[in-house]
Amino acid sequence: MGDRNRTGARPAEPPAPSATRPEPRVQRRRGEHLVHAIEDAAVAEAADVGAGRLTMEGIARRAGAAKTSLYRRWSSPEDILIDALYRRFPQESPSPSADDLRGDLIRALRLMRDSLTSDPLGKAMVSVIAESFRRADLFDALWERVFHPRGGRFTRTVLLHYAERGHLDPARLTPVVVDIGEALMAKYAFDHQQAPPDEYIAAIVDQAILPAVGASPAS
């Protein structure tokens, strides 16, 4: 009987490996180094799963940080993301001498385009903008804590810079005029489902913004 049992028995199979993803080791970081790591993780997480699905657990896991370290500084995952976007939001730097209005405007719109198409910052930014239209609190936080303190709009920064130095009439810089460039960029992206190319950006500047402020393409 012993022989029959040995012959018919199947060899024991090794246990299947666990399907769960192992938790990353918590890294010992402090101060700004830890803050930057957590904010980087929030941006990457928002780019991957969307701003509406952010969790403290997901951010902590990606950052390799203890969840308690997040709660010491922020009350929600959205707070982390808003702070991260504020620190990383690109700002146009017009030429100090204010002698290249056309070039500065083109560079400003290219900066806008490139920032919204970069990975992961651009994806995170688009995600939080989309989510903000469903959540009034997020919409308010995005505008009050990111766009307004960081200059708000790309071409607006340039136009105000030139007006302050006497090269443009401030009366021409109405809310409609300072939004022309961004509005046309957004319309192109909506109509074509892709970012505007350089030649279209130049056309926006030459055919819309410069005429609106009383300047010529040679400015």
Query: Would you list the domain boundaries of the chain?
Result: 28-86, 93-213
Which residue from 128, 112, 148 is spatially nearest to 42, judged by alpha carbons? 128
pLDDT > 70: percent of the chain: 84
Distance in angstroms (rounded) separating the CA atoms of residues 162 and 100 = 9
Tell me the CATH number for domain 28-86.
Answer: 1.10.10.60
pLDDT tens per residue across span 141-165: 988 898 877 755 689 989 999 999 9
For 34-52, what is each residue's pLDDT tens digit? 999 999 999 999 999 999 9
Split at pLDDT 50, 70, 90, the class of 219 is low
C-alpha span between 186 and 189 (Å, rounded) = 5
Rounded to an integer, what distance in angstroms lies between the CA atom of residue 120 and that of residue 197? 21
CATH architecture of 93-213: Orthogonal Bundle (1.10)
pTM, entire model: 0.69
